[in-house]
Amino acid sequence: MKKKDLNLNTGKDGNPAYILYKGKIYDVTKSKLWAGGIHMSRHKAGEDLTDFMAMAPHGEEVFEKVEIIGELENEFSEASEDKKDSYRDFYRKFHPHPLMIHFPVALFIFGALTQIIFLLWGNYSFEKTAYYSLIFAGLTSFPAIFSGLFSWWINYDLTMTKIFRNKLIFSALLIFLSLSAVILRTIYSDISFQMNSVSVIYNFLLFLAAPVTIFIAYYGGKITWPS
């Protein structure tokens, strides 16, 4: 079967539901987990799922009970897949994205909490701590985002879904929030002591960064453990 023919078998409009994994084509038409040609509200029939398996909460043993109906004609590149497998082995060994994402999540939340303490009790040390936390949170956001993009490429072949779209949008928003807040605080060192619109904007940016980071992390969890 050719790739264009595989793409037509989506499990919709009376067509069977076929999926591709490591060059082999599986018929999942009768599987309750593929009702309507959709699996876990994310994967679609008629597609190559090879890159998705590495991040799934199960292994390839799930294919043991699925009928193999053939192989993809001249379109499965073993050299290309071997290269990606080496990247996946690196990812499984060091887990760069799960490791890096903890730093901005913790620092943005910590920065917001110390700023709240400052606003309540007026201790300058907490305001300064919030500022430095914001700086390091912003800096650690970049390796977290880049490692996430790396994971998206090797495990999901940059396939765009609602989850990945939300993570991209809110990651860009997070960079904007943190960068804007740091610039304001650097220019106006006494901004937290002022009662004006610039101070309100600064605090809004600082506090909003925390839930945005949590939101990004939440969608990361949905990738590993889909509902």
Backbone φ and ψ for 39, nearest 5 degrees, come out as -120, 120
Is the pLDDT at 195 greater than 70? The verdict is yes
56-106 pLDDT per residue, tens? 666 677 777 778 888 877 544 555 556 777 888 888 788 899 899 999 999
* Closest C-alpha among 175, 185, 196, 30 to residue 11: 30
* Closest C-alpha among 201, 215, 203, 207 to residue 169: 215
d(CA 88, CA 23): 18
Read off the DSSP letter of residue 225. S
The end-to-end CA distance of the chain, in Å, is 33
**3-76 CATH:** 3.10.120.10
Burial track 156-177 (b if 16+ CB lie within 10 A, e otherwise): beebeeebbeebbebbeebeeb
Which sequence spans correspond to the domains of the chain? 3-76, 83-224
Q: For the purposes of burial, counting CB atoms within 10 Å of the CB of 210, is it exposed (0-12), middle (13-18) or buried (19 or more)?
A: buried
Burial track 2-33 (b if 16+ CB lie within 10 A, e otherwise): eeeebeebbbeeeebbbbbbebbbbbbeebee
For the chain, what percent of residues have pLDDT higher than 90?
Answer: 47
pTM over 0.75: no
197-226 pLDDT per residue, tens? 999 999 999 999 999 999 999 998 888 776
Enumerate helices (H) and strands (E) in the chain, giving the number of each. Answer: 6, 5
